[in-house]
Chains A and B, each alone.
Chain A
């Protein structure tokens, strides 16, 4: 690992492990439904109980996401959101929070157009800890993964039920921060099926790496978080939060309930993960 690698992710997972519970990883889309509201949601996530934050970078064609997250991205883009504004949100967040890890999640094209070198420099200086780029499999590591690791940013990889043992080995090579296990074949927001299969897959990954393993896709309630959290070092909740946000909108615009609706759900999920291993 590069000596300049950010350490917030490792520290946070270690802290949660010391409390004998999984970490709660929360996803929101940057700029959804507007920059000001989104910043307020982001800034309040740690107090609501989020341990790590995934911040979605809106993209016009989110092929691996379900309709909820796609619509969130469209709201942000319609409000004029850009990658530069996403980085600006992180910078602002860092003025009040030095310890909560932030992982940017999205697709490669907006980064490619922003310029890989410039993006990595700006992301690092804004206070980003890691990247999850859905459409960059290990076969394309030279594009962004290796330059990111060199720059000291974690590159978090998704593994899925279709990742066999041989591939898993290959996928883990340049993965850092944590491993994100996708609990199902499908897009974000689909229904979660089999808890036992998830547990088995997580132990197979843990047999091959010392990195923490977080599980995502399909976790919607405090109960889901508790059940999945028994198997994993972290649970990721995304679509449920985006849906909670969307339910408060008034003709697509934020209402006075928008920020609290997201934070309330995070509080309940945080209680869920605290039930998981106690």
Chain B
């Protein structure tokens, strides 16, 4: 990695796990020794050529990296502005960017001598990726999933079962990702000796936000080379959807110091940002608070009680966001704005018809943002979307939304 200049936006977090005021280690004492140990093990692994080599081989032969950079010709033509490119993370094994992180973490868990893996999942993409790496390395896997999500993501639930994972539906609260994360944390507190908590997004207590970002940064690193080859120079704009924000930080991080590259994060606008508790846009519609081990933008009421939020996309239905995004919002480096359920569905349909690609509902939020931006840009400019997942899992949800009966 090239040396960072003094004002680099890529130097975070601090030793205390802070990105500006965000991040930190807000966990119970029982977990504190574990995350200190995790950080130490991660630093050692990162410096071990054997670990890096093993991860590289798995990324190449198991995941199928590098993921292609695809010029979406008809989409570009239709929008009538900038050239639209897709960074096709949906072509990865298991169908999303999630495997990048899971492979990195499971190798780490095994180095640490852990013999049981737990995870939380919203849309099921991270659950599937975790169940996959657990099957690949022969470790037992327990996935916590909100009851509501179990219902709306039935195909992924069955996939996880086929992979040998145990699914624990969580019925407290609204039964979505936040509740699944609470339950996973409880499991971890109770099983500290043998259990590794494989967090799926760039959030949680330090060092998770940094670690997950590092594993996902391969997206941006590949893009830099691929774009140079395709167009020369740098893309003018990058777009990604934001739930916890792991695909977005993976895309953005490589380019944070390249000032000419504009960055856009599409939050889940749900029914609309003005509807209380009707969206999951924590940065546009929330304020800083402390949940799940870090300080970050959160959806909460005026008394600091956390709201459930809403999004048609289970993967974005989370009241928080990774702390590095909160920081990038406050310093103004990334522009975050909400995309409604309806806009995402429209983008999904357009992509299916114009490009023959079904994007995940999460990624369709990013695409809807591209549809707003591309027409305002010059034809000589380029905009890259991280197509973070494939939409097969969402077919039923979209059908129901459009009034289709199965």
Interface residues of A (CB under 8 A from B): 59-64, 66-67, 70, 77, 82-83, 107-114, 134-140, 157-164, 167, 171, 182, 185-187, 190
Contact = CB atoms under 8 A, between A and B. Distances in A.
A167 B35 CA distance: 13
Contact of A167 (B33, B185, B186, B191): B33
Interface string B263-290: 0000000000000000000000000011
Given A135-B290, A162-B192, A185-B190, A171 B29 contact: yes
A187 B186 contact: yes
Nearest to B191: A185
A60 B306 contact: yes
Contact of A185 (B27, B189, B306): B189
Contacts of A140: 24-26
B28, B173, B290: most-surrounded residue (chain A CB, <10 A): B28
A77 B305 contact: yes
B29 A59 contact: no
Interface in B278-311: 289-293, 298, 300, 302-306
Contacts, number: 111
Contacts of A61: 178, 182, 291-292, 306
B172 interface: yes
Contacts of A134: 28
Interface in B1-38: 16, 24-34
A193 to B, nearest CB: 12
Contacts of A163: 29, 33
A178 to B, nearest CB: 15
16 contacts: A61-B291, A63-B186, A63-B189, A63-B292, A64-B30, A83-B303, A109-B300, A112-B290, A113-B300, A114-B304, A158-B28, A160-B29, A161-B30, A162-B32, A163-B29, A187-B190
Nearest to B306: A60
A171 B24 CA distance: 17
B84 to A, nearest CB: 39
Contacts of A63: 28, 182, 185-186, 189, 292
B30, B178, B292, B300: most-surrounded residue (chain A CB, <10 A): B30
Interface of B: 16, 24-34, 172-173, 178, 182, 185-186, 189-193, 289-293, 298, 300, 302-306
A59, A162, A182, A190: most-surrounded residue (chain B CB, <10 A): A162
A64 B28 contact: yes
A61 B29 CA distance: 17
A137 B29 contact: yes
A70 B172 CA distance: 9
A217 to B, nearest CB: 10
Contacts of B26: 108, 135-137, 140
B32 A167 contact: yes
The secondary-structure label for the interface of chain B is: mixed
A82 B302 CA distance: 10
A134 to B, nearest CB: 5
A237 B165 CA distance: 36
Contacts of B27: 135, 137
A162 B34 contact: yes
Contacts of B292: 61, 63
A162 B30 contact: yes
A113 B28 contact: no
B25 A64 contact: no
Contacts of A167: 32-33
A60 B319 CA distance: 12
A144 to B, nearest CB: 10
B376 to A, nearest CB: 38
Contacts of B185: 63-64
B173 to A, nearest CB: 8
A69 to B, nearest CB: 12
Nearest to A70: B172
Contacts of B25: 137, 139-140
Given A108-B26, A136-B26, A160-B29, A186 B300 contact: no
A229 B34 CA distance: 29
Given A61-B291, A63-B185, A110 B303 contact: yes
A187 B183 CA distance: 10
Contacts of B182: 61-63
Contacts of A113: 289, 300, 302-304
